Amino acid sequence: MDKNQFTGLFLIMLIMVGSFFLLKPSAEEVKKEQLRQHNDSLRRASITRASNAKPTANAAAAPTVDSAVLKGPFGGAISGTEQLITLENKDVRLKVSTHGGRIYSVELKNYKTFDKKPLILFDGPQNHFGIKLNAGGKSFNTDELYFTPTTPQPANGALTMRLNYSPTQYIDYVYNVGAEGFKVGFDVKPVGMDGVISSKELTLNWASSLHKLEKDIHMERQYSTVYYHDVDGNVDYLSEGKDDSKAIGSDAKKLNWVSFKQHFFSSVLISKNGYKRSNLAVSTDVVSSDIKQMKADLAISPDASGAYPFEFYFGPNQFSVLKAQGNDLEKQINLGWGPLKYINRFAVIPVFNFLRQFNWGYGLIILVLTILLKLVLFPLTYKSYLSMAKMRVLKPEMDEIKGKVGEDNPTLLQQEYMKLYRQAGVNPLGGCLPLLLQMPIVIAFFRFFPSLFELRGQSFLWMHDLSTYDALVTFAPLPLVGWNHISLMCLLMTISTLIITYFNNQTSGATGQMKYIGYISPLIFFGVLNSYPAGLNYYYFLANMITFLQQIFIRQLVDDKKIHAQIQDNKKKPEAKKKKGGFSAKLEEMMRQQQAQQSQQPKKK
């Protein structure tokens, strides 16, 4: 052996010895490997026992591994492959995922999005539905575990997803749908889990990112938020216009249901036992194409059998449909505040549903509804016009008073005007009060039409969808206002309002600033209503046109000469026989006091 060979062999031995010490596993790694081999042997033994055991009525057909001998509690359900199982009826199609056992997506089969695509309320991994529980000293969420269907396919509208803990211990998610309808039965049934789950009161985490379904995402967001209903029958909701959250917690103030409400569709979770405590939240991610993200953390308790019974509602926000479901679901349709909701619920909706029975187009239904409303309000319209006519007849005398008193002393001028009104028997507010009495109905329709599901997708004339705006022209969004279109029906409504304002000024004889103030309001309304439903602007347009025709008719009945003669007769009556309204008396007394204070002030030199 020469020198070079010896050197080579020595280096090889050196490398082998060094590798032995450098790559030697640590004591901790040796223990882990021994534990792994031990668990593998236990797993094989457990599978053998399970395969030899006789199947029971509550056990799955496939052999189940006791999770306790694997990776701890629910060890066999920690990993798996996601599969989607379809459960459907005539109205809804659900896809239930083995990952979390949850409803992965909901499709309403008889409806389409604004662009004629399948209407899917939600889907995808950004949606969550799981129950938090503690087992074996560890915290779990069923949304992260893998379930197994007890049968390969749903049978008779029923599907059971099972979360295995051991062959005799598991949690079942039981889904049921009827032959038709929008309700889905959902029961959570723990079996043999009393000694495993540390508490019977659990927390249900429900979160959903709701898809854009309508043409105008800004309007859709404006009418979408989280609604909730308590045991006393009260319905409330989080803010519609901004991110909001609320904690509700007391045994005496349980919630019956929580709804992720969109503009025209809702996902509602109804608890038959009630939610003791709730944390609700809604937010808008402007980067996302979805309308809003909604979340609910709900404290749930079992019934006498140990189960947790629920019901889902996935369907339209149509008043009659929601009311038929029970549980006051129709109260999540926002019909306005205070008396407005009662006007809409007990007057407008019944009349609207009555007209629907004739199977007319919705353009004709709105026309007839407007005519009926204007007929009911005709006495107020007549009284308002008559009052404006009296003010017009008095205008020459008012101008004469103004010429004598001058404009330097407005308090004295108004005092003289009030004296003239009292002598003539004219109420200066007579033209405004009838209009104010009509305002609740006008505002009620402002809430009614945007919430009216029946208008969705219905066309009339050039308007392809009465539930959204009808764009005459579109353009890049304007700074500040954000408009990207001009609504033709809103434009016609504004023009008709300006025409009505012009004729009202002619009737009342308004001059100066009062003459032009009336022209500003229609322009403001145009800015507000440009993105509102064409059906609402169509109603306002019809109301203006009918009002205009009513005024032409009333003008034929009202004779200015007779009004002037009546005013002169009132002026001849003794003061004691003239009625003095409470408001007029207070106003006149206030002006008299103000005039006295001004007369006592020292004059400036």
In a domain, 421, yes or no: no
Cβ of 484: how many Cβ atoms within 10 Å? Answer: 14
Q: For tokens 């939600």, what's the residue?
A: 122
Asked if residue 419 is part of any domain, the answer here is: no
Q: Could you tell me if 163 and 220 lie in one domain?
A: no
Cα gap 310→312, rounded to integer Å? 7
Q: Please count the CA atoms within 13 angstroms of the CA of 219 that sit on its side-chain side.
A: 20
pLDDT tens per residue across span 74-92: 878 888 899 999 999 999 9
Quick one: 115 and 242 in the same domain?
Answer: no
- DSSP state letters, 484-550: -EEEHHHHHHHHHHHHHHHHHHHHHT--HHHHHHHHHHHHHHHHHHTTS-HHHHHHHHHHHHHHHHH
Distance between CA atoms of 214 and 113, rounded to whole angstroms? 6
So what's the pLDDT on residue 434?
A: 66
Q: Nearest CA to 390 among 362, 430, 357?
A: 430
**What pLDDT shows up at residue 100?**
94
Which backbone phi and psi does 534 adopt, to 5 degrees?
A: -60, -30
Q: What is the C-alpha to C-alpha distance for residues 28 and 46, in angstroms, rounded to an integer?
A: 27
- Asked whether residue 24 is domain-assigned, the answer is no
The verdict on 239 and 315 lying in the same domain is yes
Instruction: Enumerate helices (H) and strands (E) in the chain, giving the number of each.
Output: 15, 21
- Give the tens place of pLDDT for each residue, 255-282: 999 999 999 999 999 998 899 889 999 9
pLDDT average, residue stretch 282-302: 87
Q: Does residue 16 have a pLDDT over 70?
A: no
> Does residue 558 contact residue 387 with C-beta atoms inside 8 Å?
no
DSSP 244-295: EEEEEE-GGG-EEEEEEE-SSEEEEEEEEEEESEEEEEEE--TTSSSSEEEE
Name which residue leads in pLDDT, 32 or 281. 281
137 torsion bin: left (phi>0), alpha (psi -120 to 50), beta (else): left
Please count the CA atoms within 13 angstroms of the CA of 565 that sit on its side-chain side.
5
In terms of domains, do 442 and 491 share one? yes
pLDDT in tens, 395-432: 787 778 777 777 777 777 777 778 777 777 777 666 66
> Tokens at residue 520, please?
């500003």
Pick from 147, 164, 199: which residue ends a domain?
Answer: 199
Mapping DSSP onto H, E and C, the string for 71-117 reads CCCCHHHCCCCCCEEEEECCCEEEEEECECCCEEEEEEEEEECCCCC
Q: Answer yes or no: do 385 and 515 share one domain.
A: yes
Same domain, 189 and 224: no
CA atoms of 115 and 83, how far apart (whole Å): 29
pLDDT > 90? residue 148: yes
For residue 419, what are the CA distances in angstroms to 291, 387, 388? Answer: 59, 17, 18
- pLDDT bin (cut points 50, 70, 90) of residue 545 is very high
Residue 516 belongs to some domain of the structure: yes
Residue environment code for 105-130, b if the CB has 16+ CB neighbours within 10 A, otherwise e: bbbbeebeebeeeebbbbbeeebbbb
Residue 272: inside a domain: yes
Pairing, β 183-191 against β 235-237: unpaired
Please report, rounded to a whole number, the percentage of residues in the chain having pLDDT higher than 70.
78
**The pLDDT of residue 419:** 78
- For the residues 563-586, what does the mean pLDDT come to? 63
Which tens digits make up the pLDDT trace of 476-504? 878 776 778 899 999 999 999 988 888 87
Phi, psi of 135 (to 5 degrees): -140, 130
In a domain, 408, yes or no: no
**Environment class of 22 (CB within 10 Å of its CB; exposed 0-12, middle 13-18, buried 19+):** exposed
pLDDT of 10 > 70? The answer is: no
Tell me the CA end-to-end span of the chain in Å, nearest whole number: 134
Strands 118-122 and 128-135 turn out to be: unpaired
State the pLDDT at residue 570. Answer: 72
pLDDT confidence of residue 253: 77
Dump pLDDT digits (tens) for 90-101: 999 999 999 999
The helix/strand/coil state of 338 is: coil
8 A C-beta contact, residue 378 and residue 557: no
- How are beta strands 308-316 and 183-191 bridged, if at all? antiparallel
The residues, ordered by sequence, that sit 6+ positions from 73 with a Cβ below 8 Å of its Cβ are 67, 135, 136, 138, 140, 165, 196
Task: Write the CA distances from 605 to 99, 487, 537, 594, integer angstroms.
Answer: 90, 59, 58, 22
What is the three-class DSSP state of 158? strand
What is the rounded CA–CA span in Å between residue 356 and residue 361? 8
Q: Which of 166, 199, 232 is the last residue of a domain?
A: 199
Closest CA to 259 of 285, 240, 280: 280
Are residues 108 and 101 in contact, defined by beta-carbon separation less than 8 angstroms? no
Pairing label, strands 84-88, 308-316: unpaired
Q: Choose one of 333, 357, 386: the last residue of a domain.
A: 333
Residue ranges with strand state E in 325-475: 471-474
Say whether both 94 and 179 belong to one domain: yes
Q: Do 294 and 373 belong to one domain?
A: no
In a domain, 578, yes or no: no
In terms of domains, do 309 and 231 share one? yes
Whole domain around residue 40: which residue ranges?
Answer: 29-199
218-249 pLDDT, tens digit each: 899 999 999 999 888 889 999 998 999 999 87
**Whether 37 and 171 share a structural domain:** yes
Q: What is the mean pLDDT of the chain?
A: 81
User: Is 438:337 a contact under the CB 8 Å cutoff?
Assistant: no
Do residue 273 and residue 377 come from a single domain? no
Q: Which residues pair with 258 in a beta bridge?
A: 228, 269
Residue 233 lies in a domain: yes
**Counted domains in the chain:** 3
Look at residue 568 in the predicted model and tell me its pLDDT.
Answer: 75
User: For 441-457, how does the pLDDT look when each residue is reduced to its tens digit (9 = 90+)?
Assistant: 888 888 899 999 999 99
Those residues whose C-beta lies under 8 Å from the C-beta of residue 110, and which sit 6 or more positions away, are 91
Cα Rg of the chain, angstroms: 37
484, 531 Cβ separation under 8 angstroms: no
My answer on whether 248 and 361 are in the same domain is no
